């Protein structure tokens, strides 16, 4: 069974500082990996995804993530955070089948606080 | 605009009552999902449906029921058997196309409070 670990429950960074959110997954084959963001009381919005190919993927809002198979990691990064980035971030893993529509397994989330 | 709608946004019910949460999508997606979100626990899958008239239990299906009579609709009923129903409920859908395998699109959520 697949699983996802987000080791940081809460992270606080200063506006303009760089950010890295950690995600480790467990899955026997090549996974499909996702990062979603959630503002309070809202649904989830997809930031970026990895299926195959280039291990460094670019997403929306200036975010990027790097897939490292040897470390079973898919960490999310941003070079300079903005106050509007304050939210909860979820990493998710899906089975790499040919048919899609497989269920995703989500991590428990990392809450990001931005200080001026 | 295509998307997923959930209604109502806030729902209050008395203990012991069944309640049905609505989820509708106009994205022409085959698969739909229901998640429950509690503080510090992330998203937990309740039920999912990969095709009309078929659905499977997720990780926490006890006390919940669903139906999938139409492609666009996947209502969730929270029954009186659910011991702790107060939570934020999220509906999602996915298309399963080659360029978007497993990518799920989410609705805005329904916050259910049982008094």
Q: Is B101 within 8 Å of A103 when comparing Cβ atoms?
A: no
d(CA A91, CA A64): 13
In degrees to the nearest 10, what's the CA dihedral of A43, A56, B98, A5?
A: -50
Mutate to test the interface with A, among B94, B101, B112 (most CBs of A within 10 A): B101
Condensed to tens digits (0 to 9), the pLDDT of residues B34-72 reads 999 998 888 999 999 988 999 999 999 999 999 999 999
Residues facing residue B113 across a β-bridge: B12
Range of the domain at A64: 3-115
Q: Is B109 within 8 Å of A42 when comparing Cβ atoms?
A: yes
User: How many domains in chain A?
Assistant: 1
Condensed to tens digits (0 to 9), the pLDDT of residues A64-90 reads 999 999 999 999 999 999 999 999 999
Q: Is B39 on the interface with A (CB under 8 A)?
A: no
Q: Which chain A residue has the Cα nearest residue B101? A: A100
Q: Which chain A residues are within 8 Å of B33, Cβ to Cβ?
A: 103
Whether the Cβ atoms of residue B84 and residue B102 lie closer than 8 Å to each other: no
| Alpha helices in chain A, H assignment, sequence order | none
The pair of structure tokens assigned to B103 is 């990518």
Condensed to tens digits (0 to 9), the pLDDT of residues B5-45 reads 999 999 999 988 999 999 999 999 989 999 999 988 889 99
């Amino acid at each position: 069974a697949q699983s996802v670990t987000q080791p940081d429950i809460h992270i606080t960074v200063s506006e303009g500082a760089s950010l890295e959110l950690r995600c480790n997954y467990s899955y026997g084959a090549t996974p499909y990996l996702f990062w979603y963001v959630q503002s309070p009381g809202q649904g989830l919005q997809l930031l970026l995804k990895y299926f195959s190919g280039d291990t460094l993927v670019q997403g929306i809002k200036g975010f990027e993530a790097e897939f490292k198979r040897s470390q079973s990691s898919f960490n999310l990064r941003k070079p300079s955070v903005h106050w509007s980035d304050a939210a909860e971030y979820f990493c998710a893993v899906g089975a790499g089948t040919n048919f899609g529509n497989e269920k995703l397994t989500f991590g428990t989330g990392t809450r990001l606080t931005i200080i001026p | 605009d295509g998307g997923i709608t959930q209604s109502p946004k806030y729902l209050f019910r008395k203990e012991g009552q069944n309640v049905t949460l609505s989820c509708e999508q106009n994205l022409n997606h085959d698969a739909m999902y229901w998640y429950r979100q509690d503080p510090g626990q992330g998203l937990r899958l309740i039920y999912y449906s990969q095709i009309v008239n078929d659905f499977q239990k997720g990780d926490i299906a006890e006390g919940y029921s669903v139906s999938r009579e139409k492609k666009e609709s996947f209502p969730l009923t929270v029954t009186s058997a659910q011991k702790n129903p107060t939570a934020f409920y999220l509906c999602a859908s996915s298309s399963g196309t080659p360029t978007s395998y497993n990518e799920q699109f989410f609705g805005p959520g329904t916050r259910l409070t049982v008094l």
